[in-house]
A and B are shown apart, each in its own frame.
Chain A
Amino acid sequence: MIRRILSLTGLVALMLAVAVPVLAQDARVEAAKKEGKVVWYTSLVLPSAEKVAKLFEAAYPGVKVEVHRTGSERILQRVMQELTANIKNADVVHTSDAGHFVFLKDKKLLMPYTPAGVDKFPPGFKDKDGYYFGLRATVTAIFYNTKLMSAAEAPKTWKDLLDPKWKGKLVTAHPSYSGVVATHVLALEKQYGWDYFKQLGQNKLMIVQSAADTPTTVVSGERIVAVNGGEYSAYQLKKKGNPIEIIYPKEGVPLIVSPTAITSFAPHPNAAKLFTDFTFTREIQQVMADSEGLYTGHPDVKYPTDKPKLGDLKLLSADAEELQKRNEEIKKRFVEFFGA
C-alpha cells in the first residue's frame, strides 16, 4: 500500500515534470497520438520494461507502448527474421549487445536520431554518427547466496571460479540469449583468453538463458554462485530482502551499455521519437537508477548509496565493432565449452 502511494506520488511528480516540455512539442505529441502506439523491442527485464511503458502512457495518454520483451540476441533474431518476410513491426530496438547496433547501422536499418539531452552523456553512450545511444548500463558480477555460504567462503575473483571445489555449484546465463552475457564473455575472453571458459566449463555449470535468471537461481538456492549476470537484477533482489550478495571482482567488471535506436522502417516514427526522448529524460533515467538499480549516462542522476559508484569500479569494456564481428564465435565457443 505504502509502495503504491509512493509510486503514485512519483507518477504525479513525473507528470508535472514533463508537462512543461510537452506544451512546447504539441505538434509532435499530436502526430504521435495519431499513430496511436509505439512498438518497443526491448531486452530490459520484463517488470522494469512494463513500468517504463506505464509511465510513458501516463505522461502521454493516447499513445500506447507495445512491449515485446525477450533476450537481446532473440531480439536481433526477431527483427531480421521478420525482415526476411518483409514485416516491418519494430519502432524502437533496445538490446544489451552493442554489436547489434553496428550490424543494424551497416544494414541501413536504423534512423539517425539524437534524443534530447544526450549531448551531456559521456562518450561511451553515444554513436559518433548519431544512430544509437546508451539508454542504461549495468555491470556483470559474481553473486552468491548468503544463506548457504559465508562471505569468507565466497569467491572473490573471476579466476576463483575455476577452482574444482565449485563443481555443480555454479550457474551461468547464455550468450545466445543475453546481450549482457555475450558482452561479458567477450570482455573476459580479452582478459584471460578462451582458456578461462574452457576451464570454467569443467565445473559443470547449470545453464539458464537470461542474465536476470542467474540471480533468481542463486536466490532459490538451486546453485550457490552465479558466474555472471546483470548486476541490476541482483541488486533489485537484494533490496527486496532476498539472501543474495554481489561481488565486484578487483580485476575489473565488464561494463555493459545497452543502446537504443529507432528503426529506419519504423511504422510509428513520431511516437518512437517521443518515446525515445521520454526514456532519456532525467526523470526516467532516475527511475532506472532508483528502483531498477541501473547505471545511466545522465550526469544529473543520483544513485542509491547502497551500491558502488560506477567511477569506483574498475571497468572492463568490450568494443561494439568487435562484439559484432565475433558474435558467432562467442556463441559457438560457449556451446563448445558448456555443452548447450
Chain B
Amino acid sequence: MSVSTHRRASGATLRGRLEGVDRSLPVWVATALAIVALMALPLAWLGYMSVGAEQGTTFGHYREVFRDEALRKALWHTLVLAFWTGLVSVALGAPLAWLTARTNVPGKKLIRALVMASFVTPPFLGAFAWVMLAGPNAGLLNRMWRDLTGATDPLLDIFTMSGLVFVVTMYTFPYVYIMLANTLALIASDLEDAAAIHGAGRLGVALTITLPLVAPAIVSGFILAVLQALALFGSPAILALPAGFHTITTQVWSFFHFPPKVEQAAAVSIPLLLATALLLLMQKRLLGRRGYATVGGKGGQRRTIALGIWRYPALAAVFVVMAGSIFLPYAVLAKAAFARAWAQPLTWSNVTLANFTFTLFEYSSTKAAILNTVELGLATATMGAGLAALLSYVTNRRLVVGHQLVAFLALAPVVIPGVVLAVALFIAYTRPPFVLYGTLAILFVAYLTKEMPVGYAQSDATFRSIPPDLEEAGRILGAGRLRVLRDVTAPLARSGIIAAWCFIFIGVIRELSASIILFTPNTRVMSVVIFDLKEEGQFGAIAVLGLAMLAMTFATVSVVQAALGRDVLGVKE
C-alpha cells in the first residue's frame, strides 16, 4: 500500500518533471546558444584579450592604458560629458514632461510628436547639422549674430565640451521625458490635494509631495541619459575630434587605426562595461526599492493644472528647445542638400540637385549601403521581435523553470555599450571557429544583441497587459496551448509585437558606434557611409543621405503609431 502510493507519487512527479523538461529544454537550449553566441563568447574573448600576453596573463595592457595621460584625459572628458548631459537632460526633460502630463499647455499632441522626433533622430546627424549651425566662424547662427550685432566673437562655439553636451542633450532628454511623463500620468492628485487642503502653497505641494514621488523616475532618467552619453560615438567624433579632444569611445575607435592595438581597446572596454553595469544596477535599485502604491495604481483623479497667462510663454519655451533638436537641424540639413556651398545663402545660383544625383546615382557605395541597411534592419527586426515575443511569452506565463533568468539574460545586453560590443565581436569573430568578420552576419549579431533589450521590454509590456484569463478560458473550452496561442494570444499581442519590430528597425538603421568598428568595404551601412563622407568633408552628400535616413525612420514610426493606436513614447494622454 505504502509502496504503491509512493510509486504513484513518484510517477506523478516524474511525469511532472518530464512535462517541465519537455517544455523547458528547447527553450533553454535555444536561449543558451543565443546567449553564448551573442554575449558570452565575445565578452570572454574581450576579457581574455585584455589580460592576454605572449605567455600567460598580464595586467600590462591595463597599466599601459591607465598610465597614458591622453587616455586619462579621454576618460575625464567622458565623465564630464556624461554628467552634464544627464543633468541638462533632466533640466529639459522634467519640465517638459510635467507640462504635457499635468498642465493645460496648448498643443500637447504637437509637443509629444516633437519630443518623439528628437527621440528617433540619429544623434550624429544632429551633431553634423550643428556644425553647420554653430561652427564658430562659418556657422549660420553665428553669421546672423555677427550681422545683427556687429560683434566679432561668435555667439556659440559647437567645437567645445559645452557644445558637445548641448548637442548630445538635444537627443537625450527624451529619455528623461519618457520616464517622467509615464510616472506623472500614474500619480493621482489626492496626495497633492491633501497637502493643499492642509495649507501648502503650490510650490509647497510641488516640493513636498510631487517631487519626492517622481524623484526615483528623475534619477532613473538621469542615469539613462548618462548611459546614452557614455556610449555615444558619432557626436564626439564629429564635435570633439576637431576641437582636439577624445572621449573613451573615440579613443577605442582610434585604437583600431593602423597599427592596431586591440589589446588596449579591450583593456579600456572592460572598465566602461563595468561602469555601465554599475549605473544600471543603481537605477534598478532606485526604481525597485520603493514600491509606491500611488505610482503603481491607475485609479485616482489627475487634475490638470491651469497655467493661466503662462500657457503661451510655456509653449514658446518648448519651441525654443525643439528649435535646438528639430527645427534648426532639419532646416540646415535640407539647405545643405540643395546647396552647392552650404555656407552660402540659398540664392538661385547656389541651388542645385547635384548633391542628389551624385549621392544617389554616381556614388557607387550609396546603393549597396542602403540595401545593406534595409536588409539588416529587416532581418534583425524580424528575428529580434520574434525572439523577444517568444521569450517574453515564456517568461510572462512562467512556462519554463528559471524563467526569471531568461528575462534577465534578454535584458542583460543593455549594459554593453556599442563600441565595447563591437570590440568584443571583432575579437571573437575574426578567428576560427566562427569567422564572421567581413560578412553582414557580424553586424546582424551586433544589432540583435544591442536591440534585444528594447524588443524584449516592449514585448514584455505587451504580454503583461494581456491577462491570462482569456487564454485560460480558451483552454477550459478545450483548445490546446498552440491553438490558444494562435487564436487568442497572437491577435491580442499583434500590435505590441509590430511595435517591437519597428523599435528594433529604427535602432538598426541609425546604429553607428558598433558598425564603425565592424564594417568592411562590402558591408558598409548608411551610418558608416555618412561617417566616411564626414571625414572627407562631403557635406552635400551627407545631407542627402541623412534626409533619406530620417525619411526611413519616420515612415517606420508612423507604422508603430498605427499599430499601437498611440505615439511611441509610452502613455496615452
Given A76-B258, A221-B138, 9 more pairs with CB closer than 8 A: A50-B363, A71-B535, A77-B258, A82-B437, A89-B520, A219-B343, A220-B138, A222-B137, A340-B243
If A50-B362, A81-B256, A221-B138 touch, does A89 touch B341 (CB 8 Å cutoff)?
no
A149 at interface (Cβ–Cβ under 8 A)? no
Bound-state Cα–Cα, A216 to B363, Å: 19
A339 at interface (Cβ–Cβ under 8 A)? yes
Q: Mark B121-154, 1 if CB is under 8 A from A, else 0.
A: 0000000000000011111000000000000000
Neighbouring B residues of A50 by C-beta, 8 Å = 362-364
Task: Let me know if A216 and B257 touch, CB within 8 A.
Answer: no
Task: Let me know if A77 and B244 touch, CB within 8 A.
Answer: no
Task: Let me know if A340 and B137 touch, CB within 8 A.
Answer: no
Q: How far is the CB of B374 from chain A (nearest CB, A)?
A: 20
Task: Name 6 interchain pairs, CB-CB below 8 A, sorted by A.
Answer: A53-B364, A84-B430, A204-B244, A207-B244, A327-B258, A340-B246
Q: Mark B153-176, 1 if CB is under 8 A from A, else 0.
A: 000000100000000000000000
Please indicate which of the listed interface residues A53, A77, A87, A89 has the most CB atoms of chain B within 10 Å of its own CB.
A87
Q: How far is the CB of A87 from chain B (nearest CB, A)?
A: 4
Bound-state Cα–Cα, A212 to B537, Å: 7
Which B residues, 33 to 84, have Cβ-Cβ distances below 8 Å to chain A? Answer: 70
Which B residues, 244 to 294, have Cβ-Cβ distances below 8 Å to chain A? Answer: 244-246, 250, 254, 256-260
B242 at interface (Cβ–Cβ under 8 A)? yes
Bound-state Cα–Cα, A265 to B273, Å: 38
Neighbouring B residues of A235 by C-beta, 8 Å = none
Which A residues, 289 to 340, have Cβ-Cβ distances below 8 Å to chain B? Answer: 327-328, 331, 335-336, 338-340
If A207-B241, A217-B537, A335-B70 touch, does A47 touch B358 (CB 8 Å cutoff)?
yes
Task: Let me know if B260 and A220 touch, CB within 8 A.
Answer: no
3 interchain residue pairs of minimum CB distance: A339-B244, A213-B537, A222-B138
B342 at interface (Cβ–Cβ under 8 A)? yes
Bound-state Cα–Cα, A328 to B260, Å: 10
Contact among B243, B437, B536 for A213, CB-based, below 8 A: B536
Bound-state Cα–Cα, A87 to B438, Å: 7
Contact among A69, A77, A168, A336 for B256, CB-based, below 8 A: A77
Please indicate which of the listed interface residues B137, B138, B520, B536 has the most CB atoms of chain A within 10 Å of its own CB.
B536
Contact among A53, A85, A221 for B137, CB-based, below 8 A: A221
Task: Let me know if A89 and B138 touch, CB within 8 A.
Answer: no
A70 at interface (Cβ–Cβ under 8 A)? yes
B521 at interface (Cβ–Cβ under 8 A)? yes
Contact among A41, A47, A85, A204 for B438, CB-based, below 8 A: A85
Q: Considering only CB atoms and an 8 Å cut-off, how many residues of chain B contact the other chain? A: 45
A45 at interface (Cβ–Cβ under 8 A)? yes
A17 at interface (Cβ–Cβ under 8 A)? no
Q: How far is the CB of A287 from chain B (nearest CB, A)?
A: 16
Neighbouring B residues of A212 by C-beta, 8 Å = 536-537
Neighbouring B residues of A69 by C-beta, 8 Å = 365, 532, 536
Please indicate which of the listed interface residues A53, A69, A327 has the most CB atoms of chain B within 10 Å of its own CB.
A69
Which A residues, 163 to 186, have Cβ-Cβ distances below 8 Å to chain B? Answer: 168, 176-177
Neighbouring A residues of B241 by C-beta, 8 Å = 207, 209, 340
Bound-state Cα–Cα, A72 to B538, Å: 17
B432 to A, closest residue via Cβ: A86
A205 at interface (Cβ–Cβ under 8 A)? yes
Neighbouring B residues of A70 by C-beta, 8 Å = 532, 535-536
Neighbouring A residues of B70 by C-beta, 8 Å = 335-336
Q: How far is the CB of A220 from chain B (nearest CB, A)?
A: 4
Task: Let me know if B242 and A328 touch, CB within 8 A.
Answer: no
Contact among A68, A74, A220 for B341, CB-based, below 8 A: A220
A55 at interface (Cβ–Cβ under 8 A)? no
Q: Mark B519-556, 1 if CB is under 8 A from A, else 0.
A: 01110000000001101111100000000000000000
Neighbouring B residues of A207 by C-beta, 8 Å = 241-244
A interface, CB within 8 angstroms of B? 39, 41, 45-47, 50, 53-54, 65-71, 73-74, 76-78, 80-82, 84-87, 89, 168, 176-177, 204-210, 212-213, 216-217, 219-224, 242, 327-328, 331, 335-336, 338-340
Bound-state Cα–Cα, A212 to B435, Å: 35
Task: Let me know if A209 and B137 touch, CB within 8 A.
Answer: no
Neighbouring B residues of A68 by C-beta, 8 Å = 365, 521
Neighbouring A residues of B136 by C-beta, 8 Å = 168, 222
Neighbouring B residues of A336 by C-beta, 8 Å = 70
Q: How far is the CB of B342 from chain A (nearest CB, A)?
A: 7
B251 to A, closest residue via Cβ: A340
Q: How far is the CB of B197 from chain A (nearest CB, A)?
A: 59
Please indicate which of the listed interface residues A46, A65, A70, A86 has the most CB atoms of chain B within 10 Å of its own CB.
A46
Q: How far is the CB of B104 from chain A (nearest CB, A)?
A: 45
B240 at interface (Cβ–Cβ under 8 A)? yes
Task: Let me know if A223 and B536 touch, CB within 8 A.
Answer: no
Neighbouring B residues of A335 by C-beta, 8 Å = 70
Neighbouring B residues of A53 by C-beta, 8 Å = 364
Task: Let me know if B244 and A205 touch, CB within 8 A.
Answer: yes
Q: How far is the CB of B169 from chain A (nearest CB, A)?
A: 22
B521 to A, closest residue via Cβ: A68
A224 to B, closest residue via Cβ: B137
Neighbouring A residues of B243 by C-beta, 8 Å = 206-207, 339-340
Bound-state Cα–Cα, A320 to B537, Å: 27
A39 to B, closest residue via Cβ: B521
Task: Let me know if B260 and A81 touch, CB within 8 A.
Answer: yes
Q: How far is the CB of A190 from chain B (nearest CB, A)?
A: 22
Bound-state Cα–Cα, A331 to B137, Å: 28
Task: Let me know if A80 and B258 touch, CB within 8 A.
Answer: yes
Bound-state Cα–Cα, A108 to B187, Å: 70
Neighbouring B residues of A204 by C-beta, 8 Å = 244
Task: Let me know if A340 and B363 touch, CB within 8 A.
Answer: no
Neighbouring B residues of A216 by C-beta, 8 Å = 537, 539
Bound-state Cα–Cα, A70 to B358, Å: 17
Bound-state Cα–Cα, A177 to B520, Å: 17
Q: How far is the CB of A58 from chain B (nearest CB, A)?
A: 13
Bound-state Cα–Cα, A76 to B271, Å: 29
Q: How far is the CB of A233 from chain B (nearest CB, A)?
A: 9
Bound-state Cα–Cα, A77 to B520, Å: 11
Contact among A78, A223, A242, A339 for B245, CB-based, below 8 A: A339
If A207-B241, A222-B135 touch, does A82 touch B365 (CB 8 Å cutoff)?
no
Q: How far is the CB of A203 from chain B (nearest CB, A)?
A: 11
Bound-state Cα–Cα, A74 to B240, Å: 20
Task: Let me know if B537 and A86 touch, CB within 8 A.
Answer: no
Neighbouring A residues of B363 by C-beta, 8 Å = 46, 50
